[in-house]
Amino acid sequence: MSGGQNDDLGGGVVARKPARSDGADPDAVGVRWKDPKRYLWPLSLLVPAGPVVAWLLAGHVSGVLWGFGGYLLLVLVPLLDVLGGPDRRGPPEEAVRALSADKYYRWCTYLFVPVQYAGLFFGFWCLASVPMTTGERVGLCITMGMSAAIGINAAHELGHKRGMGEQALAKMALAPSWYGHFFVEHNVGHHLKVATAQDPASARLGESLWAFYPRALLGGVISGVRLESARLHRRGHRFWHWRNTIVQSWLISVLIVVAIIVAFGWQVAPWFAVQAVIGMLVLEAVNYIEHYGLLRVPGADGQLGKVRPEHSWNGDHMFSNVVLLNLQRHSDHHARPGRRYQVLRSCEQAPQFPAGYALMVVLAVVPPLWRAVMDRRVLAHYGGDLSLVNVHPPKRDSMTRRYSRARTAGSTRSAQ
């Protein structure tokens, strides 16, 4: 692959075509490619800054807007996704190297953590000092919880990179939600087991979000602890060692709680737990939709083989992608985990969501709506063959009967 070069005028990238075998340059001038979302990516910082925005809106408009974070992610972004539709544009292969090296995109993620922590502590100052009703306090905790959830997403982007600085920021971004185990479980566990029955973060056909939650929450912690324990054991250390990456993030969580209690009093401690739980639940709701029903079937040798784009649901709606740092391009991410968010591309061979992540999460909260939209898409992806689907074990018999009847009826209609 031939790299490009940064273009200081407008943030473009000159993508040069590979040289021909005879040494001639097929395009001496090069093809200019500009990221159409280049100046939209900083909007992802609006979520961690949510408590400050909520304070301004509540003070000047209505106390209902203490819940700004919830309205933004669960109402406004889905609406914009519907109005804007999918955006499948992505960089050409020749532009990937230069775009990956562009420091502008890295600063969009580097700034997330300081903004997240400033918003978190400002939110607790509000809880301690600003007169609010109980409902308004819950609204503010929803705003902080959304920041914690998107913090886990920022940690997801940062934690896949090899630099010590980015990995340190990832651990810090996980601390407000007490989700330090994600750093290990996602990178080492999920990426290996994705779209299998053994992966706690891969939802199964017929499994509701509410049934998925306990399996994912508990299974993720157990998997992360086991994986980190094994890593430390190979190096001659016990689990409780200063090199333990999970414990490092947990210690930051403890320090945050202590600092908040010292600064604002014990009365705010329960609200810290509320925002952390909201962050966990939102994150796991995203995990739920990302691989729903998809299965990696072992080959003739019994091995699962490489993770391919068709093992993840793909989404191309612009506003969800901006807020979530292209997380919806999840198929390309799993196929190429080291790629930075700005160069992830839409994968045509992957199953496609009918709407953005934000709206799909809202649907997942109501299992009948979710299943009405998604179950038929899962079956269609596998040509109606239920044996190729990751089915929730308690629902296997009922689903086998249901879809066998549906296929029989379809065959009968075709024959007629």
Is pLDDT at 369 greater than 70 in this prediction?
yes
Q: Order the strands of the 5-7 sheet from edge to edge.
A: 5-7, 12-15, 31-34
Please state, in angstroms and rounded to a whole number, the distance separating the CA atoms of residues 49 and 119.
Answer: 5
Is pLDDT at 416 greater than 80 in this prediction?
no
Q: Coil, helix or strand for 391? A: strand
Please state, in angstroms and rounded to a whole number, the distance separating the CA atoms of residues 273 and 270.
Answer: 5
Tokens of 113: 């953590």
- Looking at residues 358-363, what average pLDDT do you find? 94
pLDDT of residue 372: 96
Please state, in angstroms and rounded to a whole number, the distance separating the CA atoms of residues 127 and 122.
Answer: 9
Q: Coil, helix or strand for 275? A: helix
168: number of Cβ within 10 Å: 15
- Looking at residues 215-232, what average pLDDT do you find? 96
CA 355 to chain CA mean position, Å: 15
User: 152 — phi, psi (to 5°)?
Assistant: -65, -40
Distance from first CA to last CA of the chain, Å, rounded? 54
Q: Coil, helix or strand for 7? A: strand
pLDDT of residue 31: 53
pLDDT of residue 30: 43
Is pLDDT at 248 greater than 60 in this prediction?
yes
At residue 128, what is the residue type?
A
- Residues in contact with 223: Cβ distance below 8 Å, sequence separation at least 6, in sequence order: 181, 185, 189, 200
- Lowest pLDDT segment from 135-139, 204-208, 209-213, 294-298: 294-298
Ramachandran bin of 25, using left for φ above 0, alpha for ψ from -120 to 50, beta for the remaining angles: beta
The partner residues of 34 in beta bridges, in order of sequence, read: 12
Is pLDDT at 12 greater than 70 in this prediction?
no
Tokens of 201: 């973060």
Read off the pTM. 0.88
**CA angle at residue 287 from 284 to 290, to 5 degrees?**
155
104: number of Cβ within 10 Å: 15
Q: Which residues of 86-98 are buried (b: 16+ CB within 10 A; e: fewer)?
A: bbeebbeebbbbb
pLDDT of residue 33: 80
- Residue-by-residue DSSP string for 134-165: HHHHHHHHHHHHHHHHHHHHHHHHHHTS--HH
CB 183 within 8 A of CB 151: no
- Lowest pLDDT segment from 22-26, 47-51, 230-234, 296-300: 22-26
pLDDT of residue 414: 44
- Residues in contact with 160: Cβ distance below 8 Å, sequence separation at least 6, in sequence order: 187, 337, 338
Please state, in angstroms and rounded to a whole number, the distance separating the CA atoms of residues 318 and 197.
Answer: 31
Of the candidates 211, 190, 221, the one whose C-alpha atom is nearest the C-alpha of residue 392 is: 211
The burial of 305, by beta-carbon neighbours within 10 Å (0-12 exposed, 13-18 middle, 19 or more buried), is given as: exposed
Tokens of 313: 């649901």
Is pLDDT at 135 greater than 90 in this prediction?
yes
Q: Where are the domains of the chain?
A: 1-34, 42-382
Distances (CA, A) of 50 to 39, 68, 123, 283, 337: 19, 7, 9, 17, 29
pLDDT of residue 9: 31
Locus of tokens 């600085």: 165
Locus of tokens 């960089």: 91
Locus of tokens 């503010």: 140
pLDDT of residue 247: 94
Please state, in angstroms and rounded to a whole number, the distance separating the CA atoms of residues 260 and 240.
Answer: 25
Residue with the bigger pLDDT between 395 and 123: it is 123
Is pLDDT at 305 greater than 60 in this prediction?
yes
- Lowest pLDDT segment from 5-14, 28-37, 40-49, 351-360: 5-14
Please state, in angstroms and rounded to a whole number, the distance separating the CA atoms of residues 136 and 67.
Answer: 7
pLDDT of residue 17: 46
Mean confidence (pLDDT) of the chain: 88
pLDDT band at 405 (very low <50, low <70, confident <90, very high): low
% of the chain at pLDDT higher than 90: 75
